[in-house]
A and B are shown apart, each in its own frame.
Chain A
């Protein structure tokens, strides 16, 4: 072959190779770099939109017999929309719509203004019509009035556990998503991504083969089943609302938990809101104070101090000290709540009579290092509850050198924790020294029929079983002998309890002399508890002590739970008990 001919062939070959390389490079960009975008575009050509109706999974309460009751579900009905371009008689349309939807439609002048917007083709004027109302209006066939199917989020319990169930809202986008509570925490499970109907059968096969074989959505989307018992929740909410109203408190809250598993049976905070109608609700009310707000709980911290000291061996149950009523520490004065001096008394009396001087003694015996270690173990991390925006505790004072901070922390002042952290810590005393993980959701019921049980078995051992038992004995003596003068004692049921009355902090870092946070905790039966209850009320008026403000509500809840769950007596069953 002639050399010139060979040279030309080589040039053409080179050009072909260069073009092929460019094509391969382009293929790389199309297939790899922009592959997802092109795939979505291609998919969009062959899928029709879904029905456009709001769809979302449900959240359930669980009754004690296992029946599921909806806490959040969907309601279906109709909405009314105007087409001003085809609306012939706005006044007649207004009259017809007003007859069926007077509560949700706008005022007459607003309606007429909407009807006059002839450049628009779709203006919604009324929502949440019932099946009967929507069908009746649709049958009238009013020109320019469209009656369309509508679905919306509905909470059958109203304000029941509203802070924890949460609400949906548009947020930053144009779709309804969970904004607070479990609605936000489990939004990925509850949201429905639409069915994406395919117009082209072959397109569905070849572009969505994976979903035909394994539907990933049905393995993720489902309903949320909570541990909240609706009747216990109703009782708790009623009691805290009554206490809040009686003492005109700023806020009152309560939690009922199984101390062995961490399952939350009931929780609530007052004032609350109705998620079915947020028009009158300030957005600040949507925050859940049970996990997002921290409080100095006062003397209900003493069992934690005592259990820590007993576990460390710093004190024994029969250790005594001389209670002088008041002590001076680092230039500050610490006194008992009643300024009484009790003389030489054992550790039991510190809990029974709620003695600040005694708690300070225990803190000093424990020592700063060990007290910091125990309190960090108990309060240093969040509880891990399945609610959003959980706050951590403020225990920075336990890292300072001055003893006054440890002494005040021993009776719950100077450190602030969330109510959920507090009940979790006291639950360790009830549970033989082991801290559980509080949780609201026990299972997810997936759309493919499988029920996935969530694992909350992670525990932290903080106190020794012996220390927890000895502390329980002290708290049991408080309920039986001291609280309400011994009138709340139940001969057939042991109850361990502690009250707390803490001065509220001022904005400048000091404390009010006349404003308090009252708190009270109880668990029963004392030595094999089924429930632990924590109540608190912030700034109650006309009262000071938790023994006055919260004991009636706590006592009512204890008796209700005993009756509702038929908890058998754990002592003196042959005897009788006075009515509550």
Chain B
């Protein structure tokens, strides 16, 4: 019986484990560099802030709040004034509608109180009820 030796043939694709390690090393180095830069930036910012006078900073803050406060008051009061004006307009319209309704009810009362006999009308002598014809789609 012939025997065969197992021969390991070199794979054309590189092995995955070294590639992953290289990638991880690269990422770590990149993040370290970014962190270092950020630290440097914050440090420089801190030095710049320390050089600003606290009085100036407080003044700027108070001024910003005061302007914002006045602005909010102006907005609120303008909104309130326009709301009141709109509400009054609505009330004016409702009052006009009420006048129309009063006219309508007065007309109803006048019709109810009308003496038709005096106007020459006569009551029907006979009232007949009949079954209605079939309604068309247009009705």
Contact = CB atoms under 8 A, between A and B. Distances in A.
B124 A579 contact: yes
Interface string B97-110: 11101101100110
B98 A70 contact: yes
A231 B108 contact: yes
B131 A573 contact: yes
A370 interface: no
A270 B92 CA distance: 33
Given A69-B101, A76-B95, A579 B123 contact: yes
A234 B73 contact: no
Interface string A62-73: 000000011001
Contacts of A492: 129
Nearest to A241: B113
Contacts of A160: 105, 109
Nearest to A159: B109
A519 to B, nearest CB: 23
B112 interface: yes
Given A69-B105, A131-B92, A576 B98 contact: no
Contact of B91 (A76, A202, A575, A580): A76
Contacts of A578: 125-127
Interface in A411-442: none
Interface residues of A, number: 40
Interface stretch (B1-9, B17-25, B52-60, B76-84): B76-84
Interface string A142-173: 00000001010010111010000000000000
> Taking each of B72, B88, B101, B130, which has the highest tally of chain A beta carbons within 10 Å of its own beta carbon?
B101
A77 B92 CA distance: 8
A157 B108 CA distance: 10
A230 B84 CA distance: 33
A560 to B, nearest CB: 9
A199 interface: yes
A273 B51 CA distance: 84
A211 interface: no
A156 B101 contact: yes
Main secondary structure of the interface of B (DSSP, over half): helix
Interface in A30-80: 51, 58, 69-70, 73-77
B118 interface: no
B94 A73 contact: yes
B138 interface: no
A151 B88 CA distance: 10
Contacts of B133: none
> Taking each of B69, B94, B123, which has the highest tally of chain A beta carbons within 10 Å of its own beta carbon?
B94
A201 interface: yes
Given A238-B112, A492-B129, A70 B97 contact: yes
Given A156-B105, A198-B76, A201-B76, A579 B127 contact: yes
B98 A74 contact: yes
Contact of A580 (B83, B101, B123): B123
Nearest to A72: B98
B137 interface: no
9 contacts: A151-B91, A156-B105, A201-B73, A201-B75, A202-B72, A235-B112, A569-B129, A573-B129, A575-B128
Interface of B: 69, 72-73, 75-77, 80, 83-84, 88, 91-92, 94-95, 97-99, 101-102, 104-105, 108-109, 112-113, 123-131
Q: Which 7 A-B pairs have the closest CB atoms?
A: A156-B102, A576-B128, A156-B101, A201-B72, A76-B95, A73-B98, A197-B80
Given A73-B101, A158-B102, A574-B130, 20 more contacts: A51-B84, A69-B105, A73-B98, A75-B99, A149-B88, A156-B98, A156-B101, A195-B80, A197-B80, A198-B76, A200-B73, A201-B76, A234-B108, A235-B112, A573-B131, A574-B131, A575-B129, A577-B126, A577-B129, A579-B125
